[in-house]
Structure 1
């Protein structure tokens, strides 16, 4: 996959991700040169996972049938959802309602239903006991 998981003006772009494993059938990607997030577009999968260096879940992205990013589940500080706290990791979800517009991404704390559906991917994330 290229820098953003795409092709540049019809030319192949060097891969900037590599698959380093899978969790329940979903590819775990790692950057090949420096830090980065997961791709905004996917060509071969409907979801990808990124882990923190210690192996803890960091984020998971989901793509529609046209391979565009539609949803992201993340485990990192999100001050807008956590009373301004910039140090405590929280599980939350970003929706991407507009194709190719990555600035508009409303966030909400993960719901119990979302948590139950995806918890098998949350490697190293403390279990949520209270809702």
Structure 2
């Protein structure tokens, strides 16, 4: 399928698809007229890449993971890649805890009446 059809099928811009190809995340064949031609399976590949990007993984990590996900011959150790993904996940969990603590502090601050209608409700100390 041409790049425009892949873009429409995935909701990903043609520019992003060309970037994916440049980064080694997506493959295409060239027609005699120079246009890119993508296999039907490219729709699933793009969805998978998008999921991994939304999860916070870099294109370098995604590029290394794709062969493991496709049962191809990976360049690296799939177990090591899985450990890298776990590290990213663990960092997200740490960040979530940090954000939850900050939100709790703000909730406590607001509950103490410091910001009633934009004015300090407690007497100054």
What TM-score do you get using the length of structure 2 for normalisation?
0.24
Structure with the higher fraction of residues in strand conformation = 1
Higher helix share: 2
In the superposition, the TM-score normalised over structure 1's length comes to 0.23
Structure (1 or 2) with the larger CA radius of gyration = 2
